[in-house]
């Protein structure tokens, strides 16, 4: 792959998204320009209603932009596909299948024509081990914890070997300790796979801990990219050590300043 494609692995050019409503056109996103390098971890952060998930859906190909275009690895995004795998806040596992079979289902859809059943099973087992679930692979979803369900969702996405991993607040419904453990696991997995990722979050600390860059969205409607913070913290990152890091606190303050001083709380403004 050319250096150009590595530096502009995911390219979002002049994207606008308008929805038809009973009250007329609603412009959710306007003039979105963003370039993501291969191997980068990008987070999208902003107040509710600023279009973070809308932008993620556009990258996933679940919706098409009203204007502009999105390009992944040199190809224009024209719909959903295995090159972009999504991990949602709701794990979306099939309850009648084991954790292993939930992952295998995704693997089979992507690689069935090129690999034997044994190879598909080995691929599934490998990614289950990567997320630390070898011991629970034969359990049903209702037999494992919420955090383990999310690991299965991450495993299913990674097993498809996507060019870009998309995460829509995957830890939002979890307790603080489980969330912290999965954040650490995600950092380890992303380092091992050298994956490119775009993640939606409302959590400032999560954004600073995980990101190479934090993309901060302005309030909607017609939300835009307001500012981008480059997080130059060494990897691997240790959350305990970072708690006393002046640099970490500066990044955190910069994001909070944008969200609450420059943007304010849209709910309070509406009231």
Per-residue pLDDT reduced to its tens digit, 44-84: 999 988 999 999 999 999 999 999 999 998 899 999 988 89
- With cut-offs at 50, 70 and 90, classify the pLDDT of residue 261: confident
Per-residue pLDDT reduced to its tens digit, 8-27: 899 999 999 999 999 999 99
- Asked if 259 and 45 count as a contact pair (C-beta separation under 8 A), the reply is yes
Can you list the domains of the chain with their CATH numbers?
A: 3-83+162-270 (3.40.50.300), 94-161 (no CATH)
> Across residues 18-40, what is the average pLDDT?
94
Q: Compute φ and ψ for 102, nearest 5 degrees.
A: -65, -40
**CA 90 vs CA 28, 50, 83, 97, 127: distances in Å:** 23, 20, 21, 16, 20
Question: Looking at the whole model, is its pTM more than 0.95?
Answer: no
Instruction: Give pairs for 93-96: CB < 8 Å, separation 24+.
Output: 93/141, 93/149, 93/152, 93/153, 94/141, 95/140, 95/141, 95/142, 96/140
- Asked if 12 and 32 count as a contact pair (C-beta separation under 8 A), the reply is yes
Secondary structure letter of residue 78 according to DSSP: -
Q: Nearest-CA neighbor of 167 among 175, 176, 159, 157?
A: 157
Beta bridge partners of 86: 166
The whole-angstrom separation of Cα 20 and Cα 216 is 26
Per-residue pLDDT reduced to its tens digit, 195-245: 899 999 999 999 999 999 999 999 989 999 999 999 999 999 999 999 899
**Strand ranges for 41-139 from DSSP E:** 41-45, 67-72, 75-76, 84-87
Sheet with 164-168, edge to edge strand ranges: 84-87, 164-168, 196-200, 41-45, 213-217, 225-230
Name the average pLDDT for the chain: 90
- pLDDT (0 to 100) of residue 228: 97
Residue 172, classified by CB atoms within 10 Å of its CB into exposed (0-12), middle (13-18) or buried (19+), is middle
- Asked if 255 and 209 count as a contact pair (C-beta separation under 8 A), the reply is no
The whole-angstrom separation of Cα 169 and Cα 76 is 25
Q: Nearest-CA neighbor of 206 among 189, 183, 229?
A: 183
Q: Nearest-CA neighbor of 44 among 168, 152, 135?
A: 168
């Amino acid at each position: 792959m050319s250096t150009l494609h590595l530096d502009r692995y995911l390219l979002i050019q002049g994207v606008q998204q308008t929805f038809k409503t009973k009250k007329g056109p609603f412009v959710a996103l306007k003039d979105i320009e963003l370039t993501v390098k291969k191997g980068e971890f990008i987070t999208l952060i902003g107040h509710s209603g600023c279009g973070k998930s809308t932008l993620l859906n556009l990258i996933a190909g679940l919706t098409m932009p009203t204007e502009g275009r999105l390009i992944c690895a040199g190809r224009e995004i024209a719909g959903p596909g295995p090159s972009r795998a999504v991990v949602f806040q709701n794990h979306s596992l099939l309850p009648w299948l084991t954790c292993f079979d939930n992952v295998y289902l995704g693997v089979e859809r992507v690689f069935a024509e090129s690999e034997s059943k044994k190879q598909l099973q080995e691929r599934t087992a490998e990614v289950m081990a990567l997320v630390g679930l070898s011991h629970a692979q034969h359990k049903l979803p209702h037999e494992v914890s919420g955090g383990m369900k999310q690991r299965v969702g991450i495993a299913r996405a990674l097993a498809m070997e996507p060019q870009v991993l998309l995460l829509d607040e995957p830890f939002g419904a979890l307790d603080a300790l489980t969330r912290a453990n999965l954040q650490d696991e995600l950092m380890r997995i992303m380092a091992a796979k050298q994956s490119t990722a775009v993640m939606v979050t409302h959590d400032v600390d999560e954004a600073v801990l995980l990101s190479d860059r934090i993309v901060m969205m302005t309030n909607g409607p017609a939300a835009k990219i307001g500012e981008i913070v480059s997080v130059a913290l060494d990897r691997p990152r240790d959350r305990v050590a970072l708690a006393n890091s002046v640099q970490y606190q500066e990044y955190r303050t910069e994001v909070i300043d944008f969200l609450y001083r420059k943007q304010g709380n849209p709910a309070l403004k509406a009231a």
